[in-house]
Structure 1
């Protein structure tokens, strides 16, 4: 509906929901997965930095202490090899549990992560409090009551907002209020294909203040996702490491002719 409404007004979705002067570009983070061997992790990171990415997000998987130690070793080598200006983010996907989560975050502190996304499950995040590294809320934001309380939670540095999970207008409202509180905002998708990706890009471009590097890379652009094949292009992603305003009306994507 927002796509159609915007097209009828001759505006992009970003202009419709954010005002007449949305951002023309937003930085994008690249995604890495651990555990890989330290050498593979460093090699992949170097390739991405060479392509223009300035923020790297590493997905972590360790639940057991031995696996965490292996991940920490790989991450330590990665941090040592990266230029100091490259931002590192870590995402355990809620794999840590209280009270041990605080100790794990202390051990991650020498890596100088900008923040650690959703270090504990949603049921525990509001009890996490200040830690050795800043942390961000992600999955917890699906609960409106938790999201409201997290706006003022000590230790929380950022909100990772998925419009596909919240709805575009609720996501916009939450992002605006988070920025008003001084929190960083990251807009990302749920591997939900080009329409969802375009909506997330337009949201990122529409915010009052430029968001942090967003999770809007082509991670969903795979042979396993047939939705991509019916679209001509992804006009928001014409440069590595950036989402670019398309200059088109609506969401900026179109179906090929039949």
Structure 2
């Protein structure tokens, strides 16, 4: 079996464009992969066009390791977010082909399952007015839908510092959310790399009574010594890693023990097997894995394959029940959360089928996600200012 060509499809919303890559073979089998770029979708498409000529066409889709190696190192330049995201789409699609050809889900090819279900947490649910009353109502809707965990960034446009009034407002929002979801549900606190270490520590202490399940990216991701400074002064677990795009670059994070939970994105880290290798290394450092997942149903299905065979897997992020839920239409067999959990995919390959005709109903947009604009949490054009 050989790869004949690839085709790309962009599914657009106002705040995110999702890129789907279909890998076609000379035996009629087709696999699919997915990633979500922020402001770099056209660059990704350009890279994939060149990579198809240079590396992909004519390759054996069963030889996943060899194809990833050639794509990562065969152009000599150091692979960054765009290249690793392109690799992830193609790599995932090859696993999909391999599973379909052999008649088994991908997780069976990766060592078999260690669990029969995967806990989910909701994101994208707080696209409402930034008041305690509105957040209480929105959070109640999440738990009524069966989720037992959710994540929130309550900090407005805070950057490095957060003044007294905004701190009080953030605390009030979290208090309302905790009241809505009850004492047992997990509440993840997203900081989006906003703060200085001193501010992050102060806010962590303000939020401690509401028992956050983790503090996510409390400081900008580039300085791991700053992250270690925070981790040494807070009680809540620290989570980070979504903006690291090569598993080798996690080495310093492991050595510093500055995080308790790592959050690689399968769609940016080179795919399923690359993330599986990273998870195994994390296990030797007693760290849990909770992948970043703001993609659609293909990326969710791919990450579930990883979850199935990863002993230190904690929980999986899910946007598509609340933000842009209609995009689930582009995939047949989209994974669904039932009573707070995903069931393991049982169909061959990824267990989903991409529908190009349905995808065409969501054309690429000039998507933006400006974390520093008022109303960013609404994820609508009206909720953001051009800056």
- Class of the TM-score when normalised by the shorter of the 2 chains: 0.7 to 0.9
**Shift of residue 81, structure 1, vs aligned partner:** 4.3
Deviates more, 1:84-93 or 1:20-29: 20-29
| 2:294 is the counterpart of 1:171 | no
Length, aligned pairs only? 252
Moved over 6 A (4+): none
Q: Which of residues 30, 38, 50 in structure 1 aligns to 2:132? A: 38
Deviates more, 1:110-119 or 1:34-43: 34-43
Cα 1:195–1:79 shift into 2, 3 Å = closer
How far apart, CA to CA, are the structure 1 residues paired with 2:146 and 2:322? 19
Q: Which of residues 167, 176, 180 in structure 1 aligns to 2:284? A: 180
Instruction: Answer yes or no: is the 8 Å Cα contact 1:231–1:254 preserved in 2.
Output: yes
Q: Which of residues 232, 257, 262 in structure 2 aligns to 1:159? A: 262
**Shift of residue 85, structure 1, vs aligned partner:** 1.2
Deviates more, 1:178-187 or 1:212-221: 212-221
Cα 1:149–1:172 shift into 2, 3 Å = same
Q: Which of residues 233, 238, 243 in structure 1 aligns to 2:333? A: 233
Q: Which residue of 2 aligns with 1:108?
A: 207
Q: Which residue of 2 aligns with 1:120?
A: 219
Q: Which residue of 2 aligns with 1:25?
A: 117
TM-score, structure 1 length as denominator? 0.85
SS in 2 for 1:196: helix
Cα 1:257–1:30 shift into 2, 3 Å = closer
Instruction: Answer yes or no: is the 8 Å Cα contact 2:330–2:354 preserved in 1.
Output: yes
Deviates more, 1:103-112 or 1:31-40: 31-40
Instruction: Answer yes or no: is the 8 Å Cα contact 1:37–1:74 preserved in 2.
Output: yes
Deviations 1:141-195 (A, max 9, x none): 335454112224345221112100102222111122213322121123232x332
How far apart, CA to CA, are the structure 2 residues paired with 1:84 and 1:238? 21
SS in 1 for 2:286: coil
Q: Which residue of 2 aligns with 1:131?
A: 233
TM-score, structure 2 length as denominator? 0.59
Q: Which residue of 2 aligns with 1:15?
A: 108
Cα 1:230–1:112 shift into 2, 3 Å = closer
**Shift of residue 215, structure 1, vs aligned partner:** 0.3
How far apart, CA to CA, are the structure 1 residues paired with 2:304 and 2:185? 22
How far apart, CA to CA, are the structure 1 residues paired with 2:114 and 2:347? 13
Q: Which runs of 5+ in 1 are unaligned?
A: none
Cα 1:48–1:230 shift into 2, 3 Å = closer
